[in-house]
Structure 1
């Protein structure tokens, strides 16, 4: 089995990762929202569009 972060062989102590570093990098992705699944829910789409409109720069 190889590490999903760097591709090196995994170590039993950190499985499925090769080291604490790669495990921490993966955790960082989860905590920062780097791993996300898209939603098919209409309400989520509407909220995302409203948020995007709020972030648009206004013309002066």
Structure 2
């Protein structure tokens, strides 16, 4: 292995691992992209939010509230 190669799984220089695990892949999170391990995992999470994968369910339907207000 020459000086330009890094062992598999090693983070690039400047990425300091934290004690928490990445919520996407489970690898150790790094300070620069906390709480994620990489920009890729942060982008995956953002895509899930924008795509509606993550959502908070409500017991009331918004259209039911509007109907009550009109009466």
**TM-score scaled by structure 1?**
0.69
Structure 2: give runs of 5+ residues left out of the alignment: 1-19, 65-71
Structure 1: give runs of 5+ residues left out of the alignment: 48-60
Task: Describe how 1:19-58 pairs up with structure 2 within 5 A.
Answer: 19-41=38-60, 44=61
Which one has a bigger Cα radius of gyration?
Answer: 2
CA RMSD of aligned residues (A): 1.6
Shift of 1:5: 0.2
More strand by share: 2
Q: SS of the residue aligned with 2:40? A: helix
**TM-score scaled by structure 2?**
0.59
Q: SS of the residue aligned with 1:10? A: strand
Shift of 1:37: 1.1
Q: What is the aligned residue count?
A: 45
